[in-house]
Amino acid sequence: FRITRRQEDAHELLRALLDAAEPGFKKLGDGDAALVPALFGGTQSSTLSCPSCKFESVSKEPFLDLSLEPDASIKAALAAWQKAEVLDKANAWRCGGCGRAVRATKRLGVEAAPEVLVVHLKRFGEAFRVIRKIARHVAFEPRLEVKKGAPSYLLRGVVAHHGRAMRAGHYTAYGRGRDDKWRHFDDDDVRLVPE
């Protein structure tokens, strides 16, 4: 879709639709209920751990979707997002326990899982100051678990971009119906497709 002559992607369209729908949803309830965050809202955590004194600093922030780097599968992309990383010297963290600048370990995770999970794959990357489409195939499993012990998510839909260029292409969608059958939506063409 376009806003002020600027091409937008499917993820931005979803966020714009949810933002625009929220005031109407509030009218349906008691006026204070925020349906979009209640359905799509989760909490992600970022944990910094000191290798010296083992002090941990945990920060939490709400999310409406998880933006992941493309990987072989959605499950692998989620695992890569959650994988611990050691900060380099340039990004040393001043530990709140021992007060030293340390190469802390940083871990991201899902603290509170939402009712409805939206996963957004970052499909464009920069190389040599040129933004290019990441054309990697990403497999998706019918079920996804984002946190141990939390309910898993049944895949309901996928939006796909066709075309090589960032500023050109075509979006289609795959959706699982109430009859548990998958359909491919391509403008006005809707077809049953195998899982």
Mean pLDDT by 10 residues, the chain (195 residues): 52 82 74 78 96 96 92 94 93 94 95 92 72 76 86 89 72 91 92 90
Handedness of CA 141, 143, 146, 149 (dihedral sign): negative
Strand pairing report for 66-68 and 119-121? parallel
Whole-number pLDDT of residue 22: 81
Q: How far, in Å, CA of 6 to CA of 76, rounded?
A: 32
Task: State how far the Cα of 14 lies from the Cα of 187, in Å rounded to an integer.
Answer: 17
pLDDT attached to residue 147: 83
